[in-house]
């Protein structure tokens, strides 16, 4: 049984189609992330799951029930909003128990639930305050508490951390992960933050232009992106895209990268079957910055090349250096200790095991 199944959902506002045939299914206890740039349709999809908006066509199932035509209150869901949407005229306690009260849960049980949730989120001291007296982080907790109190079959989160400052966001992210592992709830979580997507999700659906570009576990999507959009969207700094021509050499398929300081041979070891058809043709090679590092200690499928360094950015744990290969800026992630000056050359090691090749015309991965 699926916890949530979305079947062929289309949505248009007037002439603009914002969702173009969405199909997703998740199992109970899974944490699904809907991620994508703004305007990709992820929030609309979440609202359709919640019943706040009606799909133009398609079906939504929660558990065994089709809920497509049900109003939000009959879908057995809870939702945490970006602005938290706490009722400003009610105390924290009332905010948490409001949904229970409307569902005519007995008073004693309401009290018990509020207490349990407040303990879980460490907001017992705040129960009698009004939302206006809370900090951003506290409001966020209350919003979570309101959802938890309901014990629904699915939790929906609409960018719940985006209004917090950077430090708090990292804290809450860890806390949410832990909470999810503890209560094993089914979650649909919308974000535009790819780090949140990678760290929180069991499954990620990367969306763009109303279409799910790729759906799968985070690591799979990260390592084997289906197209250049997905490849570029996940990871920071994002993947380097280097135009190159596939060549057949004695040591197998590969491509040459021209830098200011020399020529680097990159063997292509994945999908060689498919790539055979591309010999002599232009492709785009996707290499993540962390796959290009300072040279020495590496072994295996490492290709060393000498590159001229045009820019250096220190991030703390490591340094990002920019070089130019095949007339494209390429970012590499190196150890600060091995840095050189701008304008000098440096030996960089290319971990070629993870390189993905893309069709420059369709931007699809060549597999």
Partner 1 sequence: MPVSHSKTFFKDLASAAALERLLPKLVMAPTFVVTLVFIYGFIFWNAWLSFSSSRMLPRMDWAGFTQYVRLFSNDRWWVAAENLAIFGGLFIVLCMAIGLFLAILLDQQVRLEGAIRTVYLYPMALSFIVTGTAWKWLLNPGLGIEKLVRDLGFENFTFDWLVDPEKAIYTVVIAGVWQSSGFVMALFLAGLRGIDDTIIKAAQVDGASLPSIYWRIVIPSLRPVFFSALIILSHIAIKSFDLVMALTGGGPGYASDVPATFMYAFSFTRGQIGLGAASAMMMLAAVVAIIVPFLYSELRRGRNE
Partner 2 sequence: MNKAVGRQHRAGRLFIYGCLLLVAVYYLVPLFVMIMTSLKPLDEIRTGSLLGLPLNPTLEAWRVAWGSACTGVSCEGLKGYFWNSVFMVVPAVVISTMIGAFNGYVLTQWRFRGSDVLFGALLLGCFIPFQVVLLPMARTLGFLGISGSVAGLVFVHVIYGVAFTTLFFRNFYVNIPRELTNAARIDGAGFWLIFFRIVLPLSPPIIVVSVIWQFTQIWNDFLFGVVYSAGNQQPITVALNNLVNTSTGVKQYNVDMAAAIIAALPTLVVYVVSGKYFVRGLTAGSVKG
Which residues of the shown chain bind partner 1 in the complex (CB under 8 A)?
51, 54, 63-66, 69-71, 74, 76, 153
Query: Contact region for partner 2 (CB under 8 A) — 75-83, 222-230, 267-275, 349-357?
Result: 75-83
User: Shortest approach of partner 1 to residue 327 CB, angstroms?
Assistant: 42
Among partner 1, partner 2, none, partner that 78 touches (CB below 5 to 8 angstroms by kind): partner 2
Secondary structure class of 320 (helix, strand, coil): strand
354 binds, among partner 2, partner 1, none (CB under 5 to 8 A by kind): none
* C-alpha–C-alpha distance, residues 29 and 234, integer Å: 24
Min separation Cβ 200 and partner 1, Å:
27
With respect to partner 1, which residue has the nearer C-beta, 16 or 337? 16
77 binds, among partner 1, partner 2, none (CB under 5 to 8 A by kind): partner 2
112 binds, among partner 2, partner 1, none (CB under 5 to 8 A by kind): none
Question: Cα 333 to chain center, whole Å?
Answer: 21
Distance CA(225)–CA(119), nearest Å, equals: 41
Short-list 143, 239, 161, CA closest to 200: 161
Least distance to partner 2 from the beta carbon of 45, Å?
15
Q: How far is CA 262 from CA 25, 126, 304, 306, 326, in A?
A: 49, 64, 11, 6, 11
Start-to-end CA distance of the chain, whole Å, equals 32
Q: Phi-psi region for residue 350, left (φ > 0), alpha (ψ -120 to 50) or beta?
A: beta
65 binds, among partner 1, partner 2, none (CB under 5 to 8 A by kind): partner 1
Closer by beta carbon to partner 1, 51 or else 225? 51
- Number of residues in contact with partner 2 under rule CB under 8 A: 24
CB of 5 to partner 1, least distance (A): 15
Distance of alpha carbon 64 from alpha carbon 81, whole angstroms: 26
DSSP state of 298: -
Closest approach of Cβ 126 to partner 2, in Å? 18
Asked whether position 72 contacts partner 2 by CB under 8 A, the answer is yes
Residues 6+ apart with CB under 8 A from 40: 207, 208, 209, 210
Residue 83 contacts partner 2 per CB under 8 A: yes
Residue with smaller CB distance to partner 1, 64 or 165 = 64
Number of other residues whose CB lies within 10 A of the CB of residue 302:
17
Cα→Cα distances 329→109, 241, 326, 335, Å = 61, 9, 8, 19
Binding mask 106-145 toward partner 2 (x if CB under 8 A, else -) reads: ----------------------------------------
* Residue found under tokens 């049900």: 70
85 contributes a contact to partner 2 by CB under 8 A = yes
Interface residue with partner 2, options 8, 23, 89, 335 (CB under 8 A): 89
CB nearer partner 1, residue 65 or residue 276: 65
Min dist CB 51 to partner 2, Å, is 8
- Examine residue 237 and say whether the peptide bond preceding it is cis (omega within 30 degrees of 0): yes
* Dist CA 82 CA 7 (whole Å): 26
If one asks whether residue 87 binds partner 2 (CB under 8 A), the answer comes out as: yes
| Selected range binding partner 2 among 97-105, 117-125, 243-251, 255-263, rule: CB under 8 A | 97-105
CA–CA separation, 36 and 229 (whole Å): 10
Q: How far is the CB of 87 from partner 2 (least distance, A)?
A: 6
Q: Please tell me the number of Cα atoms within 13 Å of 269 on its side-chain side.
A: 12
- Please choose, out of 50-58, 229-237, 250-258, 327-335, the segment that lies near partner 2 by the rule CB under 8 A: 50-58
* Angle between helices 107-121 and 136-150 in degrees, nearest 10: 130
Among 352, 367, 331, smallest CA distance to 225 is for: 367
Please pick, from the candidates 38, 64, 88, 182, the single residue that binds partner 2 as defined by CB under 8 A: 88
Interacting residue ranges for partner 2, rule: CB under 8 A: 47, 50-52, 71-73, 77-79, 81-83, 85-89, 98-99, 102-103, 146, 150
């Amino acid at each position: 049984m699926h916890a949530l199944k979305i079947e062929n959902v289309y949505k248009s506002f007037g002439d603009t189609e914002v969702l173009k045939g969405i199909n997703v299914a998740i199992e109970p206890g899974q944490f699904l992330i809907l991620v994508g740039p703004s305007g990709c349709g992820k929030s609309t999809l979440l609202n359709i799951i919640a019943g706040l908006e009606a799909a133009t066509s398609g079906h939504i199932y929660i558990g065994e029930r089709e809920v497509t035509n049900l109003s939000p209150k009959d879908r057995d869901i809870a939702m945490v909003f970006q602005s938290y949407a706490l009722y400003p005229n009610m105390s924290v306690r009332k905010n948490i128990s409001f949904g229970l009260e409307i569902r005519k849960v007995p008073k004693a049980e309401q009290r018990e639930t509020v207490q349990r949730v407040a303990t879980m989120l460490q907001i017992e001291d705040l129960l009698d305050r009004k939302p206006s007296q809370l900090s951003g982080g506290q409001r966020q907790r209350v919003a979570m508490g309101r959802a938890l109190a309901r014990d629904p079959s699915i939790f929906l989160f609409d960018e719940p951390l985006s209004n917090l400052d950077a430090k708090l966001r990292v804290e809450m992210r860890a806390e949410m992960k832990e909470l999810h592992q503890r209560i094993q709830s089914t979650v649909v979580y919308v974000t535009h933050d790819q780090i949140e997507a990678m760290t929180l999700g069991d499954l990620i659906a990367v969306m763009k232009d109303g279409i799910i570009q790729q759906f799968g576990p985070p690591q799979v999507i990260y390592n084997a992106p289906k197209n250049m959009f997905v490849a570029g969207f996940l990871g920071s700094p994002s993947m380097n895209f280097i135009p190159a021509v596939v060549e057949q050499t004695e040591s197998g398929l590969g491509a040459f990268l021209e830098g200011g300081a020399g020529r680097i041979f990159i063997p292509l070891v994945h999908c060689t079957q498919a790539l055979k058809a591309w010999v002599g043709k232009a492709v785009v090679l996707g290499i993540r910055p962390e796959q290009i590092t300072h040279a020495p200690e590496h072994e295996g499928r490492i290709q060393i090349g000498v590159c001229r360094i045009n820019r250096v950015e220190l991030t703390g744990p490591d340094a990002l250096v920019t070089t130019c290969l095949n007339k494209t800026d390429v970012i590499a992630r190196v150890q600060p200790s091995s840095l050189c000056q701008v304008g000098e050359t440096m030996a960089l090691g290319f971990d070629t095991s993870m390189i993905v090749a893309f069709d420059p015309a369709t931007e699809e991965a060549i597999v």
